[in-house]
Amino acid sequence: MTMLSLVERERYLRQIPLLGETGQERLRDAAVLVAGAGGLGSVCAQMCACAGFGKIRIVDNDVVERHNLNRQVLYAARDHGLFKVDVAARRLRENNPWLSVEPVRETITRESIGGLVCGIDVIIDGMDNYDARYILDDAAFGEGIPLVHGAVNGFYGQVSSIIPGETPCLHCIVPHPPPPGDVPILGVTVGTVGSIQVAEAIKLVTGLGKPMAGRMLLWDGLMGEAEVIPVARDPSCTRCNGRGVAP
């Protein structure tokens, strides 16, 4: 691990007291996969760039549409019709030119996931459907990579850190996902939930604090309340029982 440069010390002046120089170096040396460049993905990628994750791989196959702009904070009206990951990469580099940003125009499938998680230290779930989330979860367990799950619906959201070998998998935590389809959503909800997800990723990489491992945060923006509930492994789960479980 090389020391921080003078530029890095200046850029991260206000957070090095929190993370320590070692923590900041760990972020710089970490590679994060932001899966999805929609509402959650926009916020997560932006916060990862601000915090100084050294490599950000962002994956999405959609283009910017007008109805994205209420919550997908990386995009402007002029970006209509452009691939999200291309615009996202430009914005992230504008924010933090010292990072390696890798935009990938792909859909997350069982075929593509292997290459997408290659060399990755932490996966952030910015998906909008559980089929893709379960693919991320299986890859996380297969490769032993922590996965920060996040999901939103209207004013509500949830976050949990899934750590292979330590915590239940996503199939255990969410055995009966909601049906696929568009849900109503506000920018403030993805802002809140995405920021909490990146806080989890920062803790996982730096070793600070206590990740929401084996726990899930449920955010209710209408009531202004958060609840943290324990999550348990389904004894019959064939995915995380015996897979990636510490000896």
Residue 186 is a binding residue for Zn ion (CB under 5 A): no
**Sole window of 26-34, 41-49, 106-114, 172-180 interacting with Zn ion (rule: CB under 5 A):** 172-180
Contact pick of 151, 174, 201, 240 for Zn ion (by CB under 5 A): 240
Minimum separation from the CB atom of position 55 to Zn ion (A)? 29
Q: What distance in Å separates the CA atoms of residue 20 and residue 244, rounded to the nearest whole number?
A: 31
**Sole window of 81-89, 127-135, 137-145, 171-179 interacting with Zn ion (rule: CB under 5 A):** 171-179
3-state helix, strand, coil in the chain (%, to 5): 35, 20, 40
| Closer to Zn ion by Cβ: residue 151 or 169 | 169
Contact pick of 21, 83, 237, 243 for Zn ion (by CB under 5 A): 237
Residues numbered 87 to 106 that lie near Zn ion (CB under 5 A) are: none
Cβ atoms 137, 171 nearer than 8 A: yes
| Closer to Zn ion by Cβ: residue 64 or 240 | 240
The Cβ of residue 130 has, within 10 Å, a number of other Cβ atoms equal to 18
- Residue burial 148-184, b: 16+ Cβ < 10 Å; e: rest: bbbbbeebbbbbbbbbbeebbbbbbbbeeeeeeeeee
Contact pick of 30, 172, 193, 202 for Zn ion (by CB under 5 A): 172
Minimum separation from the CB atom of position 168 to Zn ion (A)? 5
Minimum separation from the CB atom of position 233 to Zn ion (A)? 6
- Residue burial 87-113, b: 16+ Cβ < 10 Å; e: rest: bbbebbbeebeebebebbeeebeeeeb
Chain residues in the site for Zn ion (CB under 5 A): 169, 171-172, 237, 239-240
